Amino acid sequence: MKIQNKFFDAQSDLTASKILIYQQYIKNYLPKVLMQFGKCFIADFFCGPGKNGTQDGSPLILLDTAKSMLESPVLRKKWQNPEVIVVFSDDNKEHIDNLTNSLKQRNYPDAIKIIGPLCEPFSSILSKTSEIFEKITEPKFFFLDPFTYSDVTIDNVKTLIDTPSSEVLLFLPTFHSYRFVGCADSVGALKLFLENFTDRGCSDYKDIADFNESIRQRLLTYLNLEYVRSVGLDDGKRKNALFYLTKHRTGMILMNNLVWKYTQDGLTVKAQRNNEMTLFNLSTLSDNFVRIKDFLQGYVKEKKILTNIEIIDVVAQKCFTNKYATKILKDMKKQGLIEIEYKTSNKTKGFYVADGNWNKELAVIKYKEQ
Ligand X SMILES: C[S@@+](CC[C@H](N)C(=O)[O-])C[C@H]1O[C@@H](n2cnc3c(N)ncnc32)[C@H](O)[C@@H]1O
Per CB under 6 A, does 58 bind ligand X? yes
> Mind giving me the DSSP string for 92-115?
-HHHHHHHHHHHHHS---TTEEEE
Q: Closest CB to ligand X among 97 and 226?
A: 97
User: 118 or 220: whose CB is closer to ligand X?
Assistant: 118
Kindly state the number of chain residues that form the binding site for ligand X, as judged by CB under 6 A: 17
Of residues 14-33, those binding ligand X (CB under 6 A): 19
Among 20, 33, 40, 57, binds ligand X (CB under 6 A): 57
User: Which of 298, 292, 335 has its CA nearest to residue 315?
Assistant: 292
Select the residue interacting with ligand X from 147, 179, 331, 359 (CB under 6 A). Answer: 147
Q: Which stretch binds ligand X (CB under 6 A): 80-88, 146-154, 157-165, 269-277?
A: 146-154
Residue 240 binds to ligand X (criterion: CB under 6 A): no
Determine, following the binding rule CB under 6 A, whether residue 265 of this chain makes contact with ligand X.
Answer: no
- The answer to whether residue 48 forms part of the interface with ligand X (CB under 6 A) is yes
Buried b (16+ CB within 10 A) or exposed e, 74-93: ebeeebeebbbbbbbbbbbe
Residue nearest ligand X by beta-carbon distance: 57
Nearest-angstrom CA–CA distance, 48 and 301: 50
- 3-state SS of 198-250? CCCCCCCCCCHHHHHHHHHHHHHHHCCCCEEEEEEEECCCCEEEEEEEECCHH
Binding mask 105-134 for ligand X (x = CB under 6 A): ----------------xx------------
Compute the residue count for the chain: 370
Helix (H, G, I), strand (E, B) or coil at 138: coil
Q: Which residues bind ligand X (CB under 6 A)?
A: 19, 46-48, 52, 57-58, 90-92, 95, 121-122, 145-147, 151
